[in-house]
Every structure is written in structure tokens, then in C-alpha cells.
Amino acid sequence: MNVEFGKISLNAEQSALLLKMNRVLPDLFAGLPTTLSASAALFVQSHYANNSIPRLLNFFDRYYSPAWTVLYWLYKLNANMHASVLNSAVQAQALAMFLHMYDDHLSDGDIPIDHLHLQLRTHAWQSFMNLTALAGHDIPDFQYTQNALINDYFAGVHYRSPVEDLATYEQRFRLQTATWIVMPTTLAIPLGGDFMADVRHAYETFALAWRYLDDLRDWQTDAHNREHTAVYFLLNAEHRELWRPGNATELEIIIRQLTPMVKDRIDRYLMESAKTANRIGLPALAAEYEALAAPLKMTTPE
């Protein structure tokens, strides 16, 4: 499906932060036992970077920037926050983003559970926890916030009860992205509880829009694997019966008809994030959400 988010231009300070994020994985590999370090780098390069060294070294360029620029804008809003807090926060955010994907593939069996991958996951998680502790060291209630969000994350990935409807699908996804929200909510704590809740709401709603976009793009693979995604739950009962191998031609016609509805939902979620960001004094972050949504108002399915 020809649906894409808009482009966002980074300023010089944000570009420097992205460079720090892109150093996180090489540093992670270097921190492994010598016998595992090269193997870990080669695995991530082949599995997640199309066997490309430049893509590996610029790993986090692929992510839509509001996933981490929220930290930059929160830092700018708080004149009392030291730059070292932001530096630790963006590195922790990079690990949260990597772990979200890596954990999912480990638990689904896409990655073998062997000594290499167990050690890589353990080291990544320990590094994430260390960096969040550095960022949150002088922030009141940081530990409570972190523990609550990590508990949410494991509630989302550990309990495998069937998802029966779209509301449950969205709620499960919100829980599964909780580690991404540790740093944004931590940096929001000094600005008050209501402010922190709004930051979380804006982030989760943006993440949901992103998830709908991915589900729309990946509908063929998901239907073949019988994965029940947002697109599946938007189908009527009759069309859901086609959500299995062998029905791609019929489903393509149906998905094309469904695409405007999915795009509208994505746009509404991004606009909700932008509205929330504007209301709490983060207009530049709101502008990023709006930039992501811009092509949705003009793109049509091929």
C-alpha cells in the first residue's frame, strides 16, 4: 500500500543526538565477551540491517524521529535539566527501541535462543537499566515511574490471552510500548503529574498511528501468517474468513477499499498527539506529528 508518513528535518542538536544513538549498538557489541562481540554485530547486521554496514552504523535513522525527539523538546522546556540527562536518556531510548523489536523476535521464535542471543539480550537490558538510572538519578519518583512502566511492558508481552477485538489490540500494544515511554515520562516528571500523563498519552497515540501504518503495509504477510492485526479487526466477519494463506487476490481488493478508513484513523491519532503536545507547551513536537500526517491527506492507494 502506498501510504507513508511525512519527512521531518532534524536541527543540528538533534542530529548530534542521533549520532549518539547510533553509537549505542556498536558500544553494546563491544561490551560483550570478546568471543561473542563480532558474532552479535554480524547477526544484527544481517537480520536487521539488510547485511549493510552503513545501515547498521546508522541503525536508528530508520525510526520516525518523534520516537526520541520528544526527549529533546522536554529538555528544552526544562531550563534546570543538565545536558548529561538528555544524553543518557536518548541512549536509553535507543536501547528501548532495539529491545522492543529484539524481544518480540526472541519470544516468537524468529531468533534462536542460544548463548549469543541470550547474552546480547541480557547485556542490552542491563545497559538500558543503567542508562535510565543515570538519566533519572536526580528526578523524584523516577524509580516508581520506571518500575510501573516496566511492569506494564511485561504485562503486555507475558500474558498471551487471545485478542478478540480492536480495543483490546490497542490496549495490548500500549502496554508493549511501555519501555519506550520510560524516558519521556521521566523527563516530564519535574513538570508535574498531569503534564507527565499528557506526554504519555501523546506518545502512545503517536505509537498507535505508527502501528496502524505498519499493519496496513504488512497485511499480506500478516494474513498469510494469520496474525490478527488492526487491519484484521477492521474487517467485517465475512472478510475475516479470508485472512489466511491463499486469498491474497481477494483480500487485496478489500484492503484497498479499507485503506481510506485506516488512513483516517492514523491521521486522527497523529492529530490527537499534536493537539496534546500543543496544549502542554510543546509546539515543535506537535509540528513533528503534523508533518508525519501531511501525506495521509493526499495519498491514494495504487
CB 121 within 8 A of CB 103: yes
Taking alpha carbons only, the member of 99, 97, 95 closest to residue 128 is 95
CB 132 within 8 A of CB 187: no
The enclosing H or E element of 87 equals helix 83-108
* Structure-block grid coordinates of residue 289: 506529528
Residue located via cell numbers 478508513: 261
Type of residue numbered 25: L
> Long-range contacts of range 258-261, CB-CB < 8 Å, 24 or more positions apart?
258/231, 258/234, 259/1, 259/3, 259/216, 259/301, 261/234
Q: Domains of the chain, with CATH numbers?
A: 12-297 (1.10.600.10)
- Say how far apart CA 245 and CA 222 lie, in whole Å: 10
Q: What does the pLDDT look like over 159-212, one tens digit per residue?
A: 778 899 999 999 999 999 999 999 999 999 999 999 999 999 999 999 999 999
pTM, full prediction: 0.95
CB 48 within 8 A of CB 101: yes
Q: What does the pLDDT look like over 241-294, one tens digit per residue?
A: 999 999 999 999 999 999 999 999 999 999 999 999 999 999 999 999 999 999
In this predicted structure, the answer to whether residue 109 has a pLDDT above a threshold of 90 is no
